[in-house]
Amino acid sequence: MSDATIRFSPIVAGLWRLADWQLDVAARVRWIEQVLELGITTFDHADIYGDYRCEALFGQALAAAPQLRQRMQLVTKCGIRLTGSEHPYRLNHYDTTAAYVRGQVEASLRKLHTEQLDVVLLHRPDYLMDAQALAETCRELTAEGKVAHWGVSNHRPSQLALLHDALPLVAHQVELSPLAMGALDDGTLDQCQQMRLAPMIWSPLAGGRLFTGEDAQALRVRAELESQAHAKGVSVSAVVYAWLLRHPSRPHPITGSGRIERLREAVEARHVAMPNEDWYAIWQASTGHPVP
């Protein structure tokens, strides 16, 4: 972590599928309570999730039970203009201009029924980003008490460094799983460790491909994961989360399920042993070759 005061829970609850869970307000409140009871206090959103609906669905729960807000960290993202029925853009594109970022932050505040967002991430690198102008907008929003901290998502090390030079960042959300290991080799996690940024890991279970994929890589990895799960007496999911948590950059995996038992597996993975040999066995299964 940076020297900022924000602290994320080791496991993060992801809300991008919230609209698909078909929960009424009372059920959403109970789900949040159960998640908090597991020790998961960080909730990950984005303005575009659920065709721009998920923040409002979560916010309705907070409006019904406002005491829950003080027990959590709210993370959201902005910077993507996603076309849809209420957003008839000619095409999806990125936008980190002052007016758009400010507008989306203020919309997120309204939808989430909160006076301040704990962290806002720039969702994707914008090729037209003016780092100094964006940083000035972010500083203004922080000075106004609307955003406590800033971070990025899916940025290359050079892109993150450009913005970090103008605006201190606290987190970087990236893809990482035993089937998508690019962040291990492209400098992303090295940079997080060097800068003490919190890596937040999206798609840790490879979108379910770890369980259903029939390609050679998925089959190799699944066989190794099942072997380790049997030996350790835990679920395959717990082995995957333990593999992620083992990295010295101290990643925070983001769950994508609304099922409490799935979140419990992620939390329990913190206590699953993952010695170097086991970690590299999964790495080898993914790459298809031994270490050089």
What is the rounded distance in angstroms from the CA atom of residue 228 to the CA atom of residue 142? 46
Q: Which residue is listed with tokens 């419990």?
A: 264
What do you get for the CA distance between the two ends of the chain, in Å? 31
**Rounded Cα–Cα distance for residues 131 and 163 (Å):** 5
Are 206 and 213 within 8 A, CB to CB? Answer: yes
Catalytic residue among 49, 52, 127, 241: 49
Active site residue 49: yes
What long-range pairs does 211-217 form, CB within 8 A, spacing at least 24? 211/236, 213/179, 216/288, 217/179, 217/286, 217/288
Q: 59: number of CA atoms within 13 Å, CB side?
A: 21
CA–CA distance, 160 with 76 (Å, rounded to integer): 17
Catalytic residues: 49
